[in-house]
Structure 1
Amino acid sequence: MIFYNQVYQYTHKEEKSRMRIIELESSIVYFVDLHGDTSMPKNTLIEDLENEIEADLLLPISDPFLKSYSDKDLTDKQIQKREEDWRVASIGWENYKEQLLDKKTREATLQQLAEQFEIPKIKVKRIFSRFWQRGLNKNALLPDYMYSGGKGKEKRLSEQSNIGRKKKYNSFKQRISITDSVKKQILYVIKTFYRKKNQPTIQDTYDYLLNEYYSDSYYEGNVLKYRVWDDSRIPSYDQFYYWFKKLEDPKLDIQLRQSDKEFNLNHRPLLSNTALETDGPGTRFQVDATIADIYLVSSFDRNLIIGRPVVYGIVDVYSRLMTGVYVGLEGPSWVGAMMALDNMITDKQGFCARYGIDIGEEQWPAHHLPGIIIADRGEFEGYSVENLINNSNLKIENTSPYRGDLKGIIERQFRTMNGRIKRLSPGAIQKEFRERGDRDYRLDATLNLNEFTQVIIHLMLEHNNKIVDKYPLEKKMIVDQLVARPLNLWNWGIENKKGRLQIVDNRNIFRLNLLPKAKARITRSGIRFKGLSYGSEKAINEQWYLKKRGESLEIVYDPRQVNQIYIPYVNGSNYDTCYLLETSIQYKGDYLEEVEFYKELQQEAKAQEKRKQIDNRINTNSAIRSIIKQAAKEKKDSEVIHISKSEYLKDIRANRQAEKLMNREQENFDLTSVADQKKANVIDTNVQENLQEETPKKPSSRLMEKLKRKRDEEYEK
């Protein structure tokens, strides 16, 4: 299978001969060589190229120009030159693609573009050569300033009349004829009265017509009233209704009485099919998010309800195959969208295996980048998506606000999914079935995030094998007896259609264009981010914790797990990985949402204990003050009146020694007392008395007596 924008290298040539696929047709492939200052497109049969690949003469290789540049790292001159060249490349490629691919018309087209933009023809050639060679994206046109200068130096990247209806019975009173003036009156009341947000009825509008043009006003007291004319002088309701319908503008009525959104969603004519807008798998993917109608519990403690999860889905417009999914607590936001995009290019067999679901690669073969992604505004507008567009051959089409119908395929899939969840899962929202006094469905929450992800995966796998109703099968599909299931349509489209599927060679560089960025701080306890500590070999070798302590640095991170964070290099092609330190290893393998949830839980627990801590501190201070007060009273009662300061302060050492000896009498461990009590009934009394008489008096006892006497003498003086 030849993929769009894939780079190949010949193995049988001495010099490196690389080429990039820049366009695919039914049987012809266009490519450019990656070497040379100017390189014009060549073409060959897809069959010949596939034969060379099968014979290992041509090998797919990683894109050597795949980078992750951020505009903030580029200089103003680089951005200016890129935008000037991009204007030439984008307009020329969009309007003159066939002429540029055709060798017979190429030179004339290049000359036409040179005159249009008032630049030399050779410059136009170089612009398109760089555009084709380096991946057909905006950043392919960046000047190579980063390679200028001395080696090893740091570089900065910065819009008839009718006489009226005939009467069926002559007994009916004659009505007026509907002249042009009457029609103008009807049209006027439609414009000024009917087309209002309060949505007056047709009967209300008819009454307004009579009030304005076919009635007399009079006062009854101070109250202004109206009297409608005789029936022969006014249009009947049937006449009004007939001309109302002839003069109405349904589209304008809905837009002015309700909204443009209501018309576009529920009344807009459906004259086409989204599949007709594509030329095979990968031409367009639709992405959307929904908040699932179910409450989940924490994976740490099932007694903790964590709310409703966010589900992102990506679907291929041509085949209806689900190509990406994300289930989490983040969003709807860029973080959730980023995770879905990463899953889009992920091998689904390995993805399902992480959740204990074994599938074959043929059951979910989607792991590609499309040509266009159709998304909502909001999460797909901003810095991160700009990085993605500039560094890859991908376009983002944002829909108008409140226009979910423009992403009808994925919207319909979400409705079906939520319906299944409501019928099967505990904790699902059941508002339409609840009555007053019923049990709160949130109390039935049972599934955690991991288990709910398993449920979503099974629903996705079921969808990929479900027959698509009202799919516009092509004649060749009918001849091939194709059953319109997403998997069948995907595989058939790859074999028979062109499409725009792209393979991502370096997933890590792709992630650098997706991952959210944040600030981390270097501290003595490691690189601190979201309350967790990280470390890296580079940080240790370069002594960051000493030389850069207190500094902040830009990192990228994956909210799905907190095992590591990444520090991107300025050159856009590499990064440094920082791993969790032992002090934060307990959170290894956890979602960032759950880590933040437990950090908040800790803060709440501390806040609840704060009052208890204050009470404890107050009571402790009160007890200390009580002890001090009692001691001061006893000191005052025992104070010797006639004693000098010097006498009061002398002999501190002797007093300390006496106090120490008295404390030893109370503090010493007497292990014989328990043993003596156990043997009291067997020891001879006389022997015991003799032992006591023979036991000499301890020197410490004599010293204690001496110290006591000396202290008493000093107090008697």
Structure 2
Amino acid sequence: MLLQRDIIHFKKAKEPKRLSKRIGGPFAFLHDLRTQKVAKGTRARVVFAQGEHVILFRMSESSTKLWQADQDFLRQLESKGIIETEPYRSDGMKPQTQYTDVQIARRDEAWKLIEPLIRSAPRIYNKRFRVDAIRSQASKARVELIRSGKADRRKEKKGLAEGSAERRIQNLLRRYWCRGMTPDALIPDYEEVGGRGQRKNYRGSKEKRPVGEGRQVCRITPEIEGVFKKMTDRYYKGKDRVSLKFCSDQARGYLATAQLNKDAGLELRTGEEDWTDKVAVPSYRQFLYWYNNSGRSADDEKERLGPSGYDMAKRARFGSSLSRLFGVGSRFEIDATVLDVGCVSLIDRESYVGRPTLYLVIDVYSRMIVGMYLGFENASWHTFGIALRNVAEDKVKFCSRYGLDIEPEEWPVRDVMPARILADRGEGEGYKASDLVAKTGVIIENTAGYRGDMKGTVEKRFDIINNLLRPILPGAVAFDHMKRGDDDYRRKAKFNIDEVTRAVIRAILYYNNHHVLSGFKQPKEMVAAKIPAVPKAMWNWARSNGQSELKGFSLTELDFALLQTGHATPEKKGLRFQGMHYRSAELYEGGYAHKTGAANKQVVSWDLSNTSVIWRHRQDGSRERCELLEDYAAYKDLSFSEAHKLRLEQNSRKVKAEIASSVAFHELVEETRADLDDAEFENPQKLRASAISSAASNRKTELDIERMQEQLRRELRARNFDRAPGTTPAKDDRTNPLNATS
């Protein structure tokens, strides 16, 4: 079954077929692929799928051609060899660090322009609706542009009269459908155009409009902003519900008083002139502008209303009820907790390690557990990525790593990603999450702080898994483990991390395939089809009936989207990254070995959990695999944090060994000097010339003495051996040194 983003390649030309009657269906407003003539080499992308019906877009940025087709007809074409399905294209996908600020800004601007149209699928594929929607969006864009003051009215009106805005939106839609249906598809193609500088900010005219005859204009300075903050902190944050106008009046009075005291204010106030014209204070409008741009309104509301009141009246609301979901893949929930089971060491079962961290990824519509992670890494973006990667991973291979043989039907989740992911504000927020959204098109939603009930689906799965494992695994946390006199649950631990992981996988398989969800309210279509409230049954039913928002994503694409990005320094030995060297055959075979140093740094992607390989980014967007050199075999297959810790330990041992070596060498030198002092005491003069000439005879004498000493040592060892218990000398052998007598 074809999924959204799949690409179809016509290996042969397809001739049109004349139909006796018009074919209906949910997309009857489009031409049927059966009646269309398609040339050889044409490529089309599945831009929308609903059950057995799909919408195809001919991949061209110069024209918009959409067809409707059904899955059976496409399977017939594939069996005849007319079409083939291409793998998901990832060429051109680059890390955010390789895009300029201008490119990212243009991408965000373009995405903001067409996002309402994309969200209106499948109506956007109807030409009549699309034309009206494009005109409406162009009109809104024109109004917003003119109101913002960033465009000349005459030029803007002239451009819109010629239809330039409509053409731009149409071209952006084609580019979005043609280049992968992700926000990064809207990145401009130019990379070497223009200078590499910062965009100039328009500061406006230096001249200010008059505010009254003789009246001074107050320009907002950091000192005035400090007064604004001081008065707002003092009055607005309290429970008295003081208004912003009151805070503004206090700030204006404070500033006016300070100016009067500085300029002999008493004389000014008692003089005949209107002293208020001599004082420059900010207006209430200026105060409101500062407050609205200070980013403190949410914090102030929490202080004024209290945590409970804020969550009730002002908190952000993310609808996650079942009634708002289209089907499987509409929303995944992901969260982490500490498992209620302790583990022992993989190396020594007598060493207690602790309780591991469990990540679960849940499909909200079917309650299917689609991914997991269990390990000793704390909850972070790294472990978030491992759990998300497990969603697209082949579950048969994943389970086989832990000694479990399953059939693909037992865990039918692989090579897919959802439309949305609901996560905590911790690991699911930040530039890494934004980078993932840009690369995959998956929307990441965040819950409010301390609002675990907003992810009730995944929270309940933790409770179910712990309840399944707690009675059967040793070392589980008891409900009353803190009670005085009870046994320490940690002393009962028997399983290592691999064995606990195997038990968790078995629990997940049981839950997905056999656990009946009590109290789960199924949709009416599912009830009519008599589908049991079992996660796998509901998952399979929803996919077979087209109630799915799953996106096709290969494991390779997802791996690259989740990798960290950094810089490696070329050196003679290889690419140096995080204190280790990696082999880049392509870089050095191309004559790059002499271009070393920080000025020639290379952009690389790397996996936090494995030091064995990194990927160097080429200029065209592709990447080269660079493996760790053999000199660093001790760090292979470790995580980067483990390798860093190991290097620190080695450096510490090296420093200690060097200190001990220095002390030993100093003692050697001192003992040798002591022997030299004794020798000089016996013969303080230099050797005579005759002693040098008789060196050969002296050497022979020394050799005879050395041999005699060695003979005496052998005889002494023989006598000691003869006296040892259990030995008898040979009496008939008089030449045997064992029979020698004193």
TM-score normalized with structure 1 length? 0.69
What is the rounded CA distance, in whole Å, between the counterparts of 2:579 and 2:496 in structure 1? 24
Local SS of the residue matching 1:116: helix
Which consecutive residues of structure 2, in runs of 5 or more, have no partner in the other structure? 14-38, 143-159, 200-237, 241-300, 719-728, 736-742
Q: What's the secondary structure of 1:89's corresponding residue? A: helix
Q: Would you say 1:340 and 2:368 are equivalent positions?
A: no
Alignment pair present for 1:473 and 2:518: no
Distance 1:651 1:517 in 2: 77
Q: Deviations along 1:431-489, whole A, 9 cap, x unmatched?
A: 72244465544444443333332222112112212111222123332332211100000
Is 1:112 the counterpart of 2:159? The answer is no
Q: 1:323 aligns with which of 367, 370, 373?
A: 370
Shift of residue 496, structure 1, vs aligned partner: 1.7
Q: Residue 133 of structure 2 aligns to a residue in which SS?
A: helix
Matched with 1:665 is 704
Residue 282 of structure 1: aligned partner: 329
Contact 1:375/1:399, CA 8 A, preserved across alignment: yes
* Distance in 1 of aligned mates of 2:122 and 2:489: 60
Aligned residues of 2:602 and 2:617 also touching (Cα < 8 A)? no
Query: Given the two structures, how large is their TM-score scaled by the length of structure 2?
Result: 0.67
Q: 1:590 to 1:80 in 2, by over 3 A?
A: closer
**For the Cα contact (< 8 Å) 2:61–2:175, is it kept in 1?**
no
Q: For 1:636-681, what per-residue CA distance to the aligned partner results, in whole angstroms no more than 9, with x for missing partners?
A: 36547xxxxxx76655734765664454234459998869989997
One-letter amino acid of the structure 1 residue matched with residue 562 of structure 2: L
Over 3 Å counting, the alpha-carbon distance change for 1:261 and 1:310 in structure 2 is farther
| 2:338 is equivalent to residue 314 of structure 1 | no
Match of 1:227 in 2: none
Per-residue CA distance 1:25-73 (angstroms, 9 max, x = gap):
4664323110241324443455544554565544321234654223331
For 1:68, the equivalent position in structure 2 comes to 93
Please state whether the residue corresponding to 1:567 is helix, strand or coil.
strand
Shift of 1:301: 4.1
Q: For 1:600 and 1:420, how far apart are their aligned partners in 2?
A: 41
User: Taking structure 1 as reference, are residues 301 and 436 closer, same or farther at Cα in structure 2, changes over 3 Å only?
Assistant: same
For residues 262-277 of structure 1, the aligned pairs below 5 Å read 274-277=321-324
Does the 8 A contact of 1:348 with 1:361 survive in 2? yes
Q: 2:538 aligns with which of 480, 489, 502?
A: 489
Query: Match of 2:462, SS?
Result: helix
Pick from 409, 420, 425: which aligns with 1:362? 409
Contact between 2:57 and 2:66, CA under 8 Å: does it hold in 1? Answer: yes
Q: Return the match for 1:133 from 148, 173, 178.
A: 178
Task: Quote the Cα distance in structure 2 between the aligned partners of 1:87 and 1:68.
Answer: 20
> One-letter code of the match for 1:635?
E
1:455 aligns with 2:479: no
Tell me the C-alpha RMSD between the 2 structures: 4.3
Three-state SS of the structure 1 residue aligned to 2:562 is: coil
Go from structure 1 to structure 2 and tell me whether the alpha carbon gap of 1:142 and 1:433 turns closer, same or farther (over 3 Å shift): closer
Q: Name the % identity.
A: 25
The answer to whether the 8 A contact 1:556-1:566 is kept is yes
Report the Cα distance in structure 2 between the residues aligned to 1:396 and 1:652, rounded to whole angstroms. Answer: 92
SS of alignment partner, residue 423 of structure 1: coil
* Conserved 8 A contact 1:520-1:554: yes
2:434 is aligned with 1:378: no
Q: Structure 1: how far apart are the matches of 2:626 and 2:638?
A: 16
Equivalent residue in structure 2 for 1:37, among 34, 56, 62: 62
Alignment deviations for residues 510-567 of structure 1 (CA, whole Å, 9 cap, x no partner) = 3221112344455555544455553243255246666536775443223344332222
Q: Distance in 2 between matches of 1:399 and 1:71?
A: 25
SS at match of 2:413: coil
Determine the structure 1 residue equivalent to 2:12: 12
| Distance change >3 Å, CA 415–CA 597, structure 1 → 2 | farther
User: Residues 26 and 354 of structure 1: is their aligned pair in 2 closer, same or farther, counting only changes over 3 Å?
Assistant: closer
Q: 1:391 to 1:623 in 2, by over 3 A?
A: closer
8 A contact 2:570–2:595 mirrored in 1: no
Counterpart Cα distance in 2 of 1:504 and 1:339: 15
Instruction: Kindly state the Cα deviation for residue 334 of structure 1 after the two structures are TM-superposed.
Output: 1.0
**Residue type matched to 2:138 in 1?**
A
Q: Which residue of 2 aligns with 1:704?
A: none
For the pair shown, the structure with the greater C-alpha radius of gyration is: 1
| Structure 2 partner of 1:93 | 118
Taking the aligned partners of 1:139 and 1:424, their CA distance within structure 2 comes to 48
2: distance between equivalents of 1:148 and 1:556?
26
Structure 2 partner of 1:398:
446
Q: Please say if residues 417 and 551 of structure 2, whose CA atoms lie closer than 8 Å, have aligned partners that are also in contact.
A: yes
Quick check: 1:562 aligned with 2:611? yes
Greater CA drift, 429-438 or 6-15? 429-438
For the pair 1:415 / 2:439, whether they are aligned, the reply is: no
* Partner Cα distance (2:679, 2:192) in 1: 87
- For the pair 1:503 / 2:528, whether they are aligned, the reply is no
CA distance, structure 1, for counterparts of residue 44 and residue 535 of structure 2: 33
- The structural deviation recorded for 1:287 is 1.1
Mark the CA change 1:262 to 1:63 in structure 2 (over 3 Å): closer, same or farther. closer
Decide whether the 8 Å contact of 1:313 with 1:325 is kept in 2: yes
Q: Secondary structure at the match of 1:145?
A: coil
Q: Which amino acid aligns with 2:501?
A: T
Change (3 A) 1:636 1:137: same
Aligned to 1:102: 126
How many residue pairs get aligned? The number is 574
Aligned amino acid, residue 83 of structure 1: D
With over 3 angstroms needed to count, the CA separation of the structure-2 counterparts of 1:543 and 1:273, relative to structure 1, is closer
Structure 1 segments unaligned to the other structure (5+ residues) = 150-154, 159-190, 194-251, 641-646, 685-717
Which amino acid is the alignment partner of residue 3 of structure 2?
F
Contact kept, 8 Å, 1:131 with 1:137, in 2: the verdict is: yes
Summarize the alignment of residues 14-29 of structure 1 with structure 2, pairs less than 5 Å apart.
Answer: 14-25=39-50, 28-29=53-54
Q: How does 1:482-631 map to 2 (within 5 A)?
A: 482-505=531-554, 507-523=555-571, 526-529=574-577, 532-542=580-590, 547-548=595-596, 553-572=602-621, 574-585=622-633, 588-590=636-638, 595=643, 602=650, 610=656, 618=663, 621-622=666-667, 625-626=670-671, 628-629=673-674, 631=676
Residues 66 and 391, structure 1, Cα contact 8 Å, conserved in 2: no
Q: Which amino acid aligns with 1:387?
A: D
Cα deviation, 1:349-399, whole Å, max 9, x if unaligned, reads: 111112211111100011111111111122222333222221223211111
User: What is residue 400 of structure 2 aligned with on the other side?
Assistant: 353
Distance 1:27 1:413 in 2: 32
Partner-residue secondary structure (3-state), 1:433: coil
The code of the aligned residue for 1:4 comes to Q
What SS does structure 2 have at the residue aligned with 1:86? helix
Structure-2 change in CA distance of 1:667 and 1:117 (3 Å) = farther
* Distance in 2 of aligned mates of 1:454 and 1:298: 15
Q: Is the 8 A contact 2:481 2:488 kept in 1?
A: no
Residue 156 of structure 2 corresponds to none
How much does 1:502 deviate?
Answer: 1.6
C-alpha distance in 1 between matches for 2:101 and 2:669:
69
Cα gap change, 1:595/1:70 in structure 2, threshold over 3 Å: closer, same or farther?
A: closer
1:552–1:363 distance in 2 versus 1, CA, 3 Å: same
TM-superposed CA distance for 1:133, in Å, is 1.7
- 1:390 partner letter: A
2:180 counterpart SS class = coil
Distance 1:469 1:403 in 2: 24
Tell me by how many angstroms 1:21 deviates: 1.9
> Partners of 2:383 and 2:564 in 1: how far apart?
10
Give the residue type in structure 2 aligned to 1:564. Answer: V
1:560–1:591 CA contact under 8 A, matched in 2: yes
Q: CA deviation at 1:319?
A: 0.6
